[in-house]
Amino acid sequence: MIDIQGLRFAFAGEAPLIADWSARIDPGITLLYGDTGAGKSVLLRLLAGVQAADAGRLQIGDAVLAGSPARYQAQLFFVDPGTQDFDQMTARNCLAQLAGADADMGVRDALVEGFGLAPHLDKSLYMLSTGSKRKVWLTAALAGRRPVVLLDEPTAALDQGSVRCLWEALTVIGTARQRTVLLASSEAVNTLPLAARIDLPLN
Ligand SMILES: Nc1ncnc2c1ncn2[C@@H]1O[C@H](COP(=O)(O)OP(=O)(O)OP(=O)(O)O)[C@@H](O)[C@H]1O
């Protein structure tokens, strides 16, 4: 669960993108729905603690971002889709590092197969296509055990078979309602068991 109190954010000299927003995001899948430019990526970056808010309080479990950032961030999974941070690692090592030592290997193996990742595991990430990189992060997010998962347009650049595979894995998580998944999308998602939907913009 993520508790959000009085969140505010504006780019310098611009009107607030998020103005005094409070919400509680419960376990299950919450769709963060908004058009291009509505602020989905910015909101995910704020919640991940990689972009500083102008005001507000963010809490996951008993960890408050401002007071204990490392403990807060240890509760969540977030990879900026545009990052090059892992480009020098092999997909296998990146996956192992991001998923963590306690990852569910059954889920990991099922996603590696469903995404067709096996032939790419020993390549460096910089050699992979945008879609294949995204599959590595998605596999780590879902096989890992972080209680909160933030996904930015997870189906972008995925082939249809991989989207089906992702949807199957998310259906299991959405039905169990133990982990909190925030899924940002500019398309309505009708085929997942959603716990809630947040419509952007938030100003
Ligand atoms: N560094 C920046 N400086 C000023 N404005 C920015 C900056 N980064 C993003 N924006 C603006 O903030 C708004 C929200 O951007 P954001 O990327 O969060 O939208 P989004 O909902 O994720 O859209 P998309 O689906 O296109 O990624 C947009 O109008 C964008 O142009």
User: Model confidence over 120-152: pLDDT tens digits?
Assistant: 999 999 999 999 999 999 999 999 999 999 999
Residue, of 203 and 153, whose pLDDT is higher: 153
Has residue 203 got a pLDDT over 90? no
Task: Report the percentage of the chain scoring pLDDT > 70.
Answer: 100
Neighbours of 152 (CB within 10 A): 23
Best residue among 41, 45, 150, 151 to mutate for probing ligand 1, ranked by most atoms within 8 Å of CB: 41
Adjacent-strand bridge partners of 18: 9, 202
Distance of CA 192 from the midpoint of ligand 1 (Å): 26
Comparing CA positions, the residue from 60, 86, 84, 94 lying closest to residue 74 is 60
Q: What is the pLDDT of residue 104?
A: 97
Alpha-carbon distance of 25 to 174, in angstroms, equals 13
Best residue among 7, 14, 17, 32 to mutate for probing ligand 1, ranked by most atoms within 8 Å of CB: 17
Confidence of residue 190 (pLDDT cuts 50, 70, 90): confident
Across residues 20-40, what is the average pLDDT? 96
**Does 17 sit in the ligand 1 pocket, CB within 6 Å?**
yes
Residue 76 token pair: 């969540």
Amino acid at 20: D
Q: What is the pLDDT of residue 46?
A: 98
Alpha-carbon distance of 4 to 53, in angstroms, equals 12
Q: What is the pLDDT of residue 25?
A: 97
Give the residue whose CA is nearest to atom 14 of ligand 1: 39
The pTM for the full model equals: 0.96
Run of H or E residues at 181: strand 180-185
Q: What is the pLDDT of residue 154?
A: 95
Across residues 184-191, what is the average pLDDT? 92
